[in-house]
């Protein structure tokens, strides 16, 4: 028997067309499922409405749920369908073309005519920044924040909606 806080568990998956829900009662093993349309303009609306409907059908409120697990295919779908924000890439000077050069891991090494998809940020929207961090995290070339601001402003004026930032050894 689960403690009262952990008794009810909800899983929800926001897909491109439907949002699916499952409610599990850990004490009885009983499951309830619910499905509603995904609201593409704001997926949280459909998710919250569906969650409320699922819990209401079971005579429960959100405070009764001890665990909620959420998954979605929306991001994967957007990448596959190549839709979404107009994207730019800001990277360490000298690494602008790394997206197109990284071809060693071919998924069909015997296909000499294999075509890779175009990068989500085309070369015209890839900006090099004068900065460099060592593998140990030391600033070899300190970042020029004014350069970053200038480049971000240029990208925004060009209609860019999102900027991916990928600096060498930034994890350090």
* pTM, two decimal places: 0.62
Q: Which residues are CB-neighbours of 83 under 8 A, at least 6 positions away? A: none
d(CA 69, CA 105): 33
pLDDT tens track of the chain, all 172 residues?
Answer: 667 778 999 999 999 899 999 999 999 999 999 999 999 889 999 999 999 999 999 999 999 999 999 999 988 888 788 888 899 999 999 999 987 776 555 667 777 777 777 888 999 999 999 999 999 999 999 999 999 999 999 999 999 999 999 999 988 8
pLDDT at 104: 59
Beta bridge partners of 69: 11
């Amino acid at each position: 028997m689960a403690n009262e806080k952990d008794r009810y568990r909800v899983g929800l998956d926001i897909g491109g067309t439907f949002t699916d829900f499952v409610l599990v009662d850990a004490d009885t093993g009983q499951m309830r499922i619910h499905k509603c349309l995904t609201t593409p303009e704001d997926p949280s609306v459909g998710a919250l409405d569906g969650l409320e409907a699922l819990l209401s059908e079971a005579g429960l409120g959100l405070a009764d749920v001890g665990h909620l697990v959420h998954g979605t295919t929306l991001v994967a779908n957007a990448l596959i369908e190549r839709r979404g924000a107009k994207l730019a890439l800001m990277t360490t000077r000298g690494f602008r073309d790394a997206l197109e050069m990284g071809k060693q891991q071919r998924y069909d090494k015997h296909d000499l005519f294999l075509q890779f998809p175009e990068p989500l940020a085309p070369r015209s929207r890839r900006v090099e920044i004068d900065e460099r961090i060592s593998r140990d995290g030391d600033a070899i070339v300190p970042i020029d924040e004014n350069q970053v601001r200038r480049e971000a402003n240029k990208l925004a004026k060009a209609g860019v909606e999102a900027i991916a930032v990928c600096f060498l050894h930034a994890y350090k």
